[in-house]
Structure 1
């Protein structure tokens, strides 16, 4: 126990250790892994019909210019390396298919709207937005449409960047091709980081200052780029030469794993931003494992936010009080380096945000 007490005191004093621990604890408290699974499910339902619809539309619009059509399709589908590679190699079966367009519109709209709803629910939970402050079912779906338009705009810009990079590499030759591709990757990372920040502003009922979001968003965009490379490697090295049966299962499982990892990156980026913005650190090292622990100010703010998040009505007031932990003494508190927080209200909440952050809605 003496070793644990020293580790606890150390991580509370050092931000580089305490902040990641607080993010992990909040990720566990919010059950973010299950929220990511929900995003994966609806993403799986919407992704293939959406790509089918994209292929059918581009094939019809650019039927007279097959070179531009192929370049755009390759650039757009490169963002979805697991399933996009299969569509590229079987693209002829989708040309001019009216049924594909109809199925794509209905399937992608249903799945995509539910993806937006699941993302909105997850972010509002992560950022401790009370239920009564969240938009009603109609407005939440309008927000979902804005979110989808934002994703569509990002895909178009990314496709344009990829196409321009490929064209520039062909024009400048092999010597400058590497530099052009590196510049395109950097531009794509910055764009994806901007999309992350914009999605928070669209979906969350909170005004988040940019200084608390850009660092985590940039890290999330870098992780997303790594996932894209990983998916490309998976298709090129694992599925190449596989049998039809193994290849089919490999595509499905690879796509599910890729979507799940992408959802985890998205939610983990939000968790980092929420912990920094609401000052939910440092946390007590043993708080998730036992009741025999003195809660830090970050613990108390986190647990109050979890309670007030579930208030369904604006006139519903929730009060949170923390009794002394069982079988704990003052010596333990002093030994673990516990200090009082001037902004702490003694463990009581009034049904709104933690005291450090007043509630603000657009």
Structure 2
């Protein structure tokens, strides 16, 4: 074991003993194990293509509900799209309601809504993967789309409700409109995340299983809206010279990707907390209980048919800790050297010649547990 590995293993022992270090490392490890970054990419990609159909649907619904008050329609739409920093004005300018007779309009709304289901399905796949739900338990084609539809409608209600809160706060409490809007929007987002985290997961979760992640996701999104203007402005300035008009699309996609990453990070925190999947090792082996539980969940997730069962076995090498083994070997060697200094006369042969001393025991059955491994105490 070289010097670098020895120091890393010592650091590993420290972080495993301190929850303040072990929990964040376990979340980061599981984020990579679940390929959450790839899921965030898919959510952002599908969200980009779902955004404009949903925008058409939103303007159409507002047109029906507020038919006699076009100014209120525009104010409410502007407040709702304010959640998209800087880009909200461009989105509002491109928002036009669907028009036509009853049948044509119904077909248009249905087609638009179906086209927006992609983001719901992507979010559903991410949630089931992060919770390591076996594929055999994932919803079928129809249930999957029903859940996606419910999630999309929930998101639309949350966005529209946030716009209504912002607009109402500005009219009712002048001077306090911004704090009230943030507080009301945060409460609405918290409720939406609590429901969505349970709705999109193909297993029965308790409210307390998702409460921590929902609170963190709410904080992440509120912070993202506060810092979003700076982030989008920077992205636009970097991309405008090269990509021109498409810089707006790139900035929007980047913002949605960052939001998806933060949301999935909150979900990972939920899973690690709910199933106590920490501490995790930096260098493996040894495998901690958190490592074993995580890898077992990942293995069992691969079950795709009820006729096939997945079992997990762990080899004795999973308990081997080279740092402890090295320390034990050095201790045994030092003990052997000490014995050799003290009883050299007793080992002399019958003719007065010094006999050969027995080698140190090293890693025999007494020094190492059965199976050739040593468990970290």
Q: Aligned to 2:13, which of 4, 9, 15?
A: 9
For residues 301 and 327 of structure 1, what CA distance do their matches in structure 2 show?
Answer: 14
- From 263, 278, 282, the equivalent of 1:281 is 278
Q: TM-score w.r.t. structure 2 length? A: 0.75
What is the root-mean-square deviation of aligned Cα atoms in Å?
A: 3.2
Return the match for 2:310 from 296, 301, 318. Answer: 318
Change (3 A) 1:324 1:136: same
Relative contact order, higher structure (CA 8 A, sep 6+): 1
Among candidates 38, 46, 50, match of residue 46 of structure 1: 50
User: Which of 324, 335, 338 lines up with 1:332 in the alignment?
Assistant: 324
Please state how far the C-alpha of 1:309 moved relative to its aligned partner.
0.6
- Cα 1:103–1:246 change in 2 (3 A) is farther
Cα shift readout 1:233-276 (whole Å, capped 9, x = no counterpart): 45678769x98986522211101101111111221111110111
Partner of 1:255: 252
Q: Who is 2:374 aligned against?
A: none
Measure how far apart 1:52 and its partner are: 3.0
> Cα 1:327–1:201, aligned 2, differ >3 Å: closer, same or farther?
closer
CA distance in 2, matches of 1:29, 1:298: 13
Would the aligned equivalents of 1:50 and 1:104 in 2 still touch at CA under 8 Å?
A: no
Alignment CA distance shift 1:23-1:47 (3 Å): same
The Cα shift of 1:77 comes to 1.2
Contact 1:46 1:110 in 2 (8 A): no
Q: TM-score, normalised by structure 1?
A: 0.78
Contact 2:194–2:211 (8 Å) recurs in 1: yes
Instruction: Give runs of aligned pairs for residues 1-362 of structure 1, distance below 5 A.
Output: 1-59=5-63, 62=66, 64-89=68-93, 94=96, 105=109, 108-169=112-173, 172=174, 177=175, 179-233=176-230, 248-287=245-284, 293-325=285-317, 328=320, 332=324
- Per-residue Cα deviation, 1:79-121 (whole angstroms, up to 9, x for no partner): 2335421133466xx367659x799746642442121111111
Contact 1:197–1:217 (Cα < 8 Å) also in 2 = yes
Q: Do 1:82 and 1:251's aligned partners in 2 also have CA atoms closer than 8 Å?
A: no
**Alignment partners' CA distance in 2, 1:273 and 1:245:** 40
- C-alpha distance 312-81 of structure 1, shift in aligned 2 (>3 A): same
Distance 1:81 1:110, change over 3 A: farther
Which blocks of at least 5 consecutive residues in structure 2 are unaligned? 328-377
Instruction: Tell me: CA distance 1:102–1:142, structure 2 relative to 1, closer, same or farther (3 Å).
Output: closer
Q: Distance in 1 between matches of 2:184 and 2:286?
A: 47
Larger Rg: 2
Conservation of the 8 A alpha-carbon contact between 1:50 and 1:107: no
- Report the CA distance between 1:205 and its aligned residue: 2.3
Change (3 A) 1:68 1:312: same
Corresponding position of 1:344? none
Aligned 8 A contact 1:74 1:88 in 2 = yes
| In structure 2, distance between residues paired with 1:326 and 1:133 | 30
Between 1:222-231 and 1:277-286, the stretch displaced more is 222-231
Structure 2 counterpart SS, 1:317: coil
